[in-house]
Amino acid sequence: MNSDVRVETKVVQTTKNKVRKRTKKSSPFSGWKENLAGYAFIGPMFIGTSILVLFPILSSFVLSFTDWNFVSGYENAKFVGFENFSKLLTNALFLKGLLNNILLILAVPITLLLSLSLAVIINKYVYLKDLFKVIYFMPFISSVVAVAVVFQVLFHPTKGPINQLLLKLGVDNPPGWIADVTFALPSVMLIMVWTGIGFNLIIYLAGLQNIPKELYEAAQIDGASVWSQFTNITIPLVSPTTFLLFVTGVISSFKVFDLIIVLTNGGPANSTITPVVYLYQQAFVELKTGYASAISLVMFVIILIITYIQFIGQKKWVNY
């Protein structure tokens, strides 16, 4: 027994000595090969991000305080201080675009409500769930330009299929849709809802599958109605998902550009213009790059404030 104990003691001591030797040999540069390999992998992405993202952001911040235009060199940029911002905040067209963008935000809760309702129906009462997921997700992954062209045909005031159908149903004066100042912005909102349902639906379905079925079974035993289960179980437990989709939806509503450019180009009579469309016009049509940079900086601050308010407000209604 003593010999066995001595052998085990020698093995333990030998192991400790090896560990100490390895520890002594280790240095900050011992893993330089592994570190170099890691930097080599992230290097191309970091360089690309720096050139295509970080540098333009910093340049835009600096140019927002100048009167530089797109065709002149940086050496011709003249510092004007806050002149661009003072012009911007008193510009009627920019303020109109900002109001239109606030109205576009209304499409976000409508999309969330429809998406959640469809997700609950598909999750509980529909067979071939994967088929319906694909059907509803198709508009989201479709090209925005293609979607805009299709709705240009559908919303044509005289020859469009929608108005032709309304005429056959007895509507004497169908709306002009994208050609009407009153209906142009609601038409854009309608398309935003149609294209956004698919993505929200998939996310909601994932959230619904994480809700324990025992909660619904217990509610049924207690005699709770379907509506009561929806309002007291489903909505509170998917509130983190709703918060995520609401924040991303609001941010996305401020980035709507390609749909409006192809569909209405900001018209008619600037009824669908948004700050992003106005920024494009000033930067690449009027070539007022400094002024356009000021627009981008103001929009960044507005989106940041709105997102911060949302994160403060979520403490009162989101259940984690």
For the stretch 215-260, pLDDT in tens is: 999 999 988 898 999 999 999 999 999 999 999 999 999 999 999 9
Q: Which of 9-23, 124-138, 187-201, 291-305 has the lowest mean pLDDT?
A: 9-23
C-alpha–C-alpha distance, residues 125 and 123, integer Å: 6
Quote the pTM value.
0.82
CB-based contacts of 198, cutoff 8 Å, min separation 6: 136, 137, 138, 139, 140, 141
C-alpha–C-alpha distance, residues 203 and 245, integer Å: 8
C-alpha–C-alpha distance, residues 18 and 26, integer Å: 12
Does residue 7 carry a pLDDT above 50? no
Does residue 24 carry a pLDDT above 60? no
C-alpha–C-alpha distance, residues 115 and 237, integer Å: 16
pLDDT tens profile 120-176: 999 888 778 888 888 889 999 999 999 999 999 999 988 899 999 999 988 888 999
CATH, domain range 105-273: 1.10.3720.10
Does residue 299 carry a pLDDT above 90? yes
List the domain boundaries for the chain: 2-81, 105-273
Predicted confidence at residue 14, as pLDDT, reads 56
C-alpha–C-alpha distance, residues 255 and 165, integer Å: 33
pLDDT tens profile 182-201: 999 999 999 999 999 999 99
The pLDDT-based confidence of 316 (bands split at 50, 70, 90) is confident
